Amino acid sequence: MWEYTDKVLDLFYNPKNQGTLEDTGEAGVKIATGEVGSIACGDALRLHLKIEVEQDKILDARFQTFGCTSAIASSEALVELVKGLTLDDALKVTNKQIADYLGGLPEAKMHCSVMGQEALEAAIYNYRGIEVDTHEDDDEGALICSCFGITENKIRRVILENQLTTAEDVTNYVKAGGGCGSCLATIDDIIESVQKEATTAKTVNNTSNSINATGESAAPRPLTNVQKIALIQKVLDEEVRPVLIADGGDVELYDVDGDIIKVILQGACGSCSSSTATLKIAIEARLRERVSPNIVVESVGSPVRK
């Protein structure tokens, strides 16, 4: 028997946002739909968003969920969290926020919160005309768990966002490893690699933040603009460009204005609007993870230089 919080039980017994939203032809409003999971796998969630086009804002949302108590409650929490948000702000909602809204979920049910976040992304990317299957790098990269079709990038992301430390945690969050178990050793290796990268990044930050101009210890402070640009360039050079170049594309850092990062996509990356948007978002996700959570990446085409 699972231990659920009062909030989970309340939302499960008294859901207020179940159902669909239809396009009624209302001026300035559009309906977007995102769907994840499958009934055959035990959980499926279809999310409908009513979007105010001018302001790119979510006016209302509804869900249709096939699943357990925590899947229904997570869907309710998701809808309550995203109502009133702009689409960009909604994309920042994490599965952890969904679980926190519920006062927590049993570890083995955390995948329900992940499903909610994925349905939200699917709806927004559908609305923006971006291929959901390639809306970010989750579906690219090495397939680690063939039982559940989970890639390395998806596992890395969930480890980072939720500070997971064991393969069992990963199974609870994205189901990987919960079938035949043959991928569990690889999941352990990925956890180790993510932890090593996080330690290295922390050491670099601490080194740059802990010594002030007189060589004395100082409280941690934000990156200077110069440090930020250097870090962005480093992430692009070491983590983004090699992947793009292998696919016949490339990216160049054009300008940095606060948290707005302007890039020029080249080769195959700049050839169609859909791939451009997808790449922009993939680059943005990586820079948010490695440099600052507030970063927004803009593609500026190929400006003429004098």
Q: Which residues are known catalytic residues?
A: 41, 112
Return left, alpha or beta for 151; rule: phi > 0 is left, psi -120 to 50 is alpha, else beta: beta
Q: How far is the CB of 148 from ligand FES (least distance, A)?
A: 6
What is the smallest separation between the CB atom of 71 and ligand FES, expressed in angstroms?
21
Does 224 sit near ligand FES (CB under 6 A)? Answer: no
State yes or no: residue 180 binds ligand FES (CB under 6 A).
yes
Nearer to ligand FES, 177 or 270 (CB): 177
42 near ligand FES, judged by CB under 6 A: no
Token duo for residue 157: 């992301």
Out of 115, 145, 244, 263, point to the residue binding ligand FES (CB under 6 A).
Answer: 145
Least Å distance between CB 112 and ligand FES? 19
Cβ distance to ligand FES smaller for residue 116 or 177: 177
Which of 84, 149, 181, 242 touches ligand FES (CB under 6 A)? 181
Cβ distance 39 to 99 under 8 Å? Answer: no
37-45, 89-97, 142-150, 228-236 -> range binding ligand FES (CB under 6 A): 142-150
Q: Which of 34, 67, 116, 177 binds ligand FES (CB under 6 A)?
A: 177
Smallest gap, in angstroms, from Cβ of residue 147 to ligand FES?
A: 3
Binding site for ligand FES (CB under 6 A): 145-147, 176-183
